[in-house]
Structure formats: structure tokens, C-alpha cells
């Protein structure tokens, strides 16, 4: 026993180091294997308010650009207003519409912290539990998709940016509906790769890539980007497709969080399916 104590006291620095190192690796392991970002939950509250202060200052420098993009969006929305459509309906009866039920809600949010050059990038937004944000909601900008909400505190949420190793998005080619999954390869924030598109599918450059209807996170048809270049290696069953992303992650500032009102219903149904299979 005395020898043991002597041994520990002689190498106490190593033991201290070892314990802390193991602690760190456990966090990394948990994060990567369970996809539960519990660690980040504790920290977003404090650190995000720090970034909000910084961002409030930075926003002044971006006002002109933000104005421009909002003006563009306004113009687009104006053109979709009911008043800008020609009334082509002469039906005298008012029909109470039961055919459409709202499935998606959009929560506007502002980017508080963002990065594009890391291998794994995260975005912090100024909306949280109080505004109805939950984990695994989609995030889009005016131009295209941005990422998926990872963890939520009372007033903030962290978003797994599309520019992240752990972010895979189910996408399809608009023209022919061929499915694939979109993944960022870690080099240029302007481009991503579309994987698993079978080689018999005809594709061409400039084909538009949109979100597929497979996920409960994004509605179908949100624009992602366009095919920048594509090739087919000999003996390979899948196309190698380089996608130019519509969203400029370097300057993205106002975004929308998508809340799927029917998500619970769908996942519940699908989980019972898995149980009966067992």
C-alpha cells in the first residue's frame, strides 16, 4: 500500500494528465457516437451572449449588404402576394379550404457566430427554446439550405453547418429526381459533393440540386446548389458530382429555422414500423 501511494505521488502529474485526457476523449467519443450534443448545451448560454455582443458591433459593417439581400427577398415575396396575381376565379361561392393544412413554420433568426474554414463548422443563432426551436430542425437562408439545429438553450441554438463532417443531407436532382446524399469534403466552402447517384442517371452541369422529400427536417424542394462538374471513374458505380452551393456561408446572416408540425406524427409512425419488424 505504501508503495502504491509512493508510486502515485511520484507520478501524480502523469495521473492528473491522464485523467483529464481521458475525460476529453470521453466527451469526443460521446459526441461522435451518440450524436447527443449534451456538452454544447451547457456552454451555449454563456458563450452565445458573448458572441451576440461581438455580432451587434459587426452587424453595422454589413448593413448595406443585408439591406440589399432583404430588398431582393422583399421583391420576391411581393411577387408572390395574392394581390400581385390576376384574379381568375369567377366562382361566386366562398370555399372553406380543408385541402391544405399547414405543415411547415418558419422562425426568423440571425446568425450570431459562424465559421467556414474549419473542418467542422458550427453556426450559432439567436433563437432558442423560448421561440419554439428544437434539435434537428432545418435551417435555410434566402438562397438555400444552411444546416441542422444541433442543440438548444433558452435563447440560442447551435447549428450543425452544412460545412461539417457530421452533416449529411438527403438531396435530389431536380430534373430527374435522382436521389443522393450531400456531404462537404472539407476544402472549399463554396462546393460540396453529391454522393450515391447511380451511374445510369443522366446528369449535366448546371442541373439544380434540391432537398428530397425523404427527410423530416427539410421540406421538399429547398434549393441547395447546382452541379458544377461531374465525372464517372471507370469501374465506379456512382457519379462523382461537385455541387456549387447557393448559400454563401461566409456572409450568411439572416436565416429561417424550419419547424415541421407533422414531424412527430411521421417519426412515431416510422418507429412503430421498426418495432414490428423486430
Partner 1 sequence: MILEILSYLLRFIAIMLLQLLVINNIELSSYINPYIYISFILLLPITIKPWQLVLISFLCGGVMDAFSSTPGLHIAATNFMGFIRIHYLKATTTKEDMEGRIVPSLSQKGVVWFVFYCFVMTFIHHLILFFLEIYGFQEFFSTITRVLLSSVVTVLLIVIGQLLFYRSKIKNG
Judged by the rule CB under 8 A, the positions of this chain that interact with partner 1 are: 12-14, 16-17, 20-21, 23-28, 30-32, 37, 39-40, 43-44, 46-47, 50-51, 54, 115-120, 122, 124, 158, 165, 185-189, 250
Residue 243: phi and psi, rounded to 5, are -110, 130
Q: Which of 143, 120, 147, 114 is nearest to 217 (CA)?
A: 147
Which CB sits closer to partner 1, 20 or 77?
Answer: 20
Min dist CB 15 to partner 1, Å, is 10
The DSSP H or E segment spanning 104 is strand 104-113
CB of 202 to partner 1, least distance (A): 30
Helix (H) or strand (E) holding 150: strand 145-152
Nearer to partner 1, 44 or 141 (CB): 44
Which residue lies nearer to partner 1 by CB, 24 or 72? 24
Q: Which cell is 51 given? A: 458572441
**Cell matching residue 75:** 421583391
| Residue closer to partner 1 (CB basis): 158 or 212 | 158
> Which residue matches cell numbers 456561408?
249
Minimum distance from CB of 123 to partner 1 (Å)? 9
Shortest distance, position 189 Cβ to partner 1, whole Å: 7
**Minimum gap (Å) between residue 81 Cβ and partner 1:** 38
Which of 176, 170, 134, 172 minimizes the C-alpha distance to 153? Answer: 134
Report d(CA 48, CA 151) in Å as an integer: 12
Give the shortest CB-184-to-partner 1 separation in angstroms.
10
Nearer to partner 1, 115 or 143 (CB): 115
User: Distance (Å, rounded) from C-alpha 161 to C-alpha 147?
Assistant: 4
List b or e across 123-146, with b for residues whose CB sees 16 or more CB atoms inside 10 angstroms. Answer: bbbbbbeebebebbbbbbbbbbbb
For residue 27, give Cα distances in angstroms to 13, 150, 156.
Answer: 22, 16, 22
Amino acid at each position: 500500500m505504501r508503495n502504491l501511494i509512493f508510486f502515485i505521488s511520484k507520478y501524480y502529474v502523469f495521473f492528473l494528465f491522464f485523467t483529464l485526457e481521458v475525460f476529453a476523449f470521453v466527451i469526443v467519443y460521446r459526441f461522435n457516437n451518440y450524436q447527443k450534443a449534451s456538452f454544447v448545451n451547457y456552454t451555449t448560454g454563456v458563450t452565445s451572449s458573448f458572441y451576440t455582443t461581438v455580432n451587434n458591433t459587426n452587424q453595422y459593417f454589413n448593413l448595406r449588404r443585408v439591406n440589399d439581400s432583404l430588398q431582393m427577398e422583399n421583391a420576391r415575396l411581393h411577387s408572390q402576394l395574392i394581390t400581385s396575381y390576376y384574379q381568375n376565379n369567377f366562382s361566386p361561392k366562398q370555399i372553406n379550404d380543408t385541402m391544405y393544412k399547414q405543415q411547415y413554420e418558419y422562425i426568423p433568426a440571425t446568425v450570431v457566430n459562424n465559421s467556414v474554414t474549419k473542418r467542422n463548422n458550427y453556426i450559432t443563432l439567436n433563437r432558442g427554446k423560448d421561440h419554439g426551436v428544437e434539435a434537428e430542425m432545418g435551417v435555410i437562408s434566402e438562397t438555400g439550405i444552411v444546416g441542422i439545429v444541433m442543440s438548444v438553450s433558452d435563447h440560442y441554438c447551435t447549428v450543425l453547418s452544412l460545412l461539417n463532417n457530421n452533416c449529411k443531407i438527403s438531396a435530389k436532382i431536380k430534373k430527374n429526381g435522382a436521389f443522393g446524399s450531400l456531404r462537404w469534403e472539407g476544402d472549399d466552402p463554396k462546393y460540396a459533393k453529391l454522393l450515391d447517384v447511380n451511374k445510369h442517371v443522366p446528369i449535366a452541369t448546371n442541373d439544380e440540386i434540391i432537398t428530397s422529400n425523404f427527410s423530416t427536417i427539410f421540406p421538399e424542394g429547398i434549393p441547395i446548389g447546382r452541379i458544377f462538374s461531374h465525372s464517372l471513374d471507370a469501374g465506379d458505380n456512382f457519379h462523382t458530382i461537385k455541387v456549387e452551393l447557393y448559400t454563401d456561408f461566409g456572409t450568411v446572416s439572416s436565416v429561417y429555422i424550419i419547424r415541421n408540425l407533422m414531424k412527430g406524427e411521421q417519426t412515431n409512425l416510422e418507429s412503430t414500423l421498426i418495432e414490428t419488424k423486430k
